Amino acid sequence: MDSLAWVAVASIATAGFSIGVGAIGPALGEGRALAQALSALAQQPDEANTITRTLFVGLAMVESTAIYCFVVSMILLFANPFWNFFLSKAGG
């Protein structure tokens, strides 16, 4: 297997790992945040507006981690900075 194929394999494996970790971590965090928010709403229904607003801001922050992982994996798959270097070395 030549070096260009190894770069392709490493890029695909790294992109898959990035999406895997980037999906599992935020999903667990969002589930925990939602459970805590529902618990807080059950204990203090008068503060529903404040709790809901804070929950949505927190969920947006947690979801941004998954979006960053998605962007990194798309860069690795479609705009890999190492492709041009290895293509020039391979003569392609």
Q: Which pLDDT belongs to residue 36? A: 95
Neighbour-count burial for 62-84, b at 16+ CB within 10 Å, e otherwise: beeebeebeeebeebbeebeeee
Percent composition of the chain: helix, strand, coil (DSSP 3-state, to 5): 90, 0, 10
Residue range 3-90 in CATH 1.20.20.10: yes
Percent of the chain with pLDDT over 90: 46
Judging by beta carbons within 10 Å of its beta carbon (0-12, 13-18, 19+), is residue 46 exposed, middle or buried?
A: exposed
Q: Which pLDDT belongs to residue 64? A: 92
Query: Domains of the chain: which residue ranges?
Result: 3-90
pTM for this model (two decimals):
0.71
